Amino acid sequence: MADKSTKGLADVVAASTALSDIDGQAGRLFYRGYDIHDLAGRTTFEETAHLLQHGRLPTREQLADYGAELVRGRALGALAEANIPEIAEKQAPMEALRTLVSLASGDDPDKDSNSPEANLRKAARLTAQQPILVARYHAARTGAEIPEPDPDLSVAANFLLQITGRTPDRHEVEVFDACLVLHADHTMNASTFAARVCAATLSDMHSAIVAAIGTLKGPLHGGANEQVMRTLESLDPGAVAQSVRDRLAAHEKIMGFGHRVYKTEDPRATHLRRMSQELAEASGDDKYYRMSKEMEEVVFETKGLYPNVDFYAATVYHYLGIPTDLFTPVFSVSRMSGWTAHVIEQHADNRLIRPDSEYVGERDQKWKPIDER
Ligand SMILES: CC(=O)SCCNC(=O)CCNC(=O)[C@H](O)C(C)(C)COP(=O)(O)OP(=O)(O)OC[C@H]1O[C@@H](n2cnc3c(N)ncnc32)[C@H](O)[C@@H]1OP(=O)(O)O
Ligand SMILES: O=C([O-])CC(=O)C(=O)O
């Protein structure tokens, strides 16, 4: 068996990156040297995506150009467009996104190039298309007519408009924009690692993103935010503490808690907790926020575990009117900016990623013909 220290590649440095950095002891996160606390609420998602993909916070002119590129990039290719209705009928949201991004590669004008310029253009198109794919998928499965994205609105505002069918207020847009910023990148998390492994074979950006989406889907990673909401919905509001204690005593994992790297509060959770409280108060129904606080107290008291990014993101998305099964797709809308930046970085200084394994099976087996086995 692999040592506990190498199982799950804990503490193994698998890549060098200039994109993000975590101090797990102090609970700090940086994007290209900027503290997440300075970015969230002060920098838009578009500025953050530019920071990750182009290496610097944009000037007004650069932001206008990048914004225009995102607006142009929203147009879905014919292949994805034609298949949305059938996919929406047959596939759950993250599976549908995996399929749709794969189909989108068929119509991407840069599909045959991994050059830095082509990769930057693909990164912008993938970032622009992801929220549209989620909205169009949701519209197809509900039969709703959705408004066209407004070129004068931000990614955050357009997404809320298309998902809820109503113009979001300023506070809602600010909160959702901050959520997108908080989820944009996170060093060598599982989905980013998957993308980099794929890119390191010199495969193309769309293939790497398909790998990342499939990896984000799992409940130990991005899929946890949906499970947090399902847990809250399943609990009796009057018996939260006892239910959580019982689950922990039965060695069940409580989704939205624990982290491989943070040994203290995840800095993103600090923002999300506050935003959840603000939205709960504004909605006049703070039931799920109060239940979350109680869960947090009991999990910390019993196991010493802190909430991760997925825990309070769940109630924030709930209060914003986003359907529960679209929580992980929302994560992908944001993380697309980081994944694509990692693919660019991997291609720019590539070496095949191929770790070793420890053989734990039988040895010296004697071969026998099929009738003698
Ligand atoms: C965006 C993101 O991906 S953030 C993470 C989202 N995932 C979740 O919220 C799922 C719940 N959390 C977990 O499963 C884990 O904490 C992970 C996957 C995030 C990190 O996993 P690892 O670093 O491998 O830690 P591991 O799962 O080995 O846990 C270490 C110990 O803490 C316990 N533990 C960790 N998380 C939890 C939890 N959420 N609930 C209960 N116990 C937990 C484990 O049972 C284990 O206990 P043991 O040593 O007595 O066996
Ligand atoms: O870093 C991780 O392992 C998971 C995480 O928090 C993220 O991807 O945002």
CATH number at residue 333: 1.10.580.10
Taking the model in full, what pTM does it have?
Answer: 0.97
Tell me the CA–centroid distance for residue 235 and ligand 1, in Å. 21
Are the C-beta atoms of 127 and 70 separated by less than 8 Å?
yes
Domain shared by 148 and 181, yes or no: yes
Domain shared by 258 and 343, yes or no: no
In this structure, the residue with its CA closest to atom 2 of ligand 2 is 189
Q: How far apart are CA 329 and CA 313, in angstroms?
A: 13
Across the chain, where does the E strand assignment appear? 20-23, 28-31, 34-35
Domain shared by 65 and 184, yes or no: yes
Tell me the CA–centroid distance for residue 2 and ligand 1, in Å. 19
pLDDT for 242? 98
Residue 10 lies in a domain: no
Give the DSSP per-residue string, 51-109: HHHHSSPPPHHHHHHHHHHHHHHTPPPHHHHHHHHHHHHHS-HHHHHHHHHHHHHHT-T
Are the C-beta atoms of 309 and 266 separated by less than 8 Å?
yes
In this structure, the residue with its CA closest to atom 23 of ligand 1 is 260
Domain shared by 40 and 115, yes or no: yes
pLDDT for 5? 55
Domain shared by 211 and 282, yes or no: no
Distances (CA, A) of 291 to 71, 80, 237, 251: 40, 40, 7, 21
The range of the structural domain enclosing residue 120 comes to 34-219+325-348
Ligand nearest to the CA of 225: 1
Domain shared by 334 and 304, yes or no: no
Domain shared by 210 and 278, yes or no: no
Tell me the CA–centroid distance for residue 39 and ligand 1, in Å. 28
Residue 292 lies in a domain: yes
231: its two tokens: 């847990």
Residue 70 lies in a domain: yes
- The string of pLDDT tens digits covering residues 332-369 is 999 999 999 999 999 999 999 999 999 999 999 999 99
259 is catalytic: yes
Atom of ligand 1 nearest to the CA of 331: 1
In the chain, the number of structural domains is: 2
Residue 121 lies in a domain: yes
Closest among 126, 127, 180, 187 to 156, alpha carbons compared: 180
- Top mutation candidate among 182, 216, 220 for ligand 1, by most atoms within 8 Å of CB: 220
Q: How far apart are CA 238 and CA 316, in angstroms?
A: 22
Residue 356 lies in a domain: no
CB 119 near ligand 2, within 6 Å: no
Low-confidence ranges of the chain (pLDDT < 50): none
CB 260 near ligand 2, within 6 Å: yes
CATH number at residue 255: 1.10.230.10
pLDDT for 6? 80
Domain shared by 183 and 230, yes or no: no
Domain shared by 73 and 139, yes or no: yes
Ligand nearest to the CA of 328: 1
- Top mutation candidate among 227, 257, 317 for ligand 1, by most atoms within 8 Å of CB: 257
Distances (CA, A) of 241 to 45, 265, 276, 328: 36, 20, 20, 26
In this structure, the residue with its CA closest to atom 9 of ligand 2 is 186
- The string of pLDDT tens digits covering residues 38-84 is 999 999 999 999 999 999 999 999 999 999 999 999 999 999 999 99
Residue 20 lies in a domain: no
Tell me the CA–centroid distance for residue 300 and ligand 1, in Å. 13
Tell me the CA–centroid distance for residue 216 and ligand 2, in Å. 9
Burial of residue 349 (number of CB atoms within 10 Å: 0-12, 13-18, 19+): exposed
Residue 153 lies in a domain: yes
Ligand 1 first shell, C-beta below 6 A: 8, 189, 220-222, 224, 248, 253-260, 303, 305, 308-310
- Top mutation candidate among 260, 262, 306, 328 for ligand 2, by most atoms within 8 Å of CB: 260
Domain shared by 179 and 252, yes or no: no
Ligand nearest to the CA of 8: 1
Domain shared by 144 and 289, yes or no: no
CB 186 near ligand 2, within 6 Å: yes
Sheet holding 34-35, edge to edge: 20-23, 28-31, 34-35
> What is the ipTM, given to two decimal places?
0.99
Residue 4 lies in a domain: no
Domain shared by 39 and 184, yes or no: yes
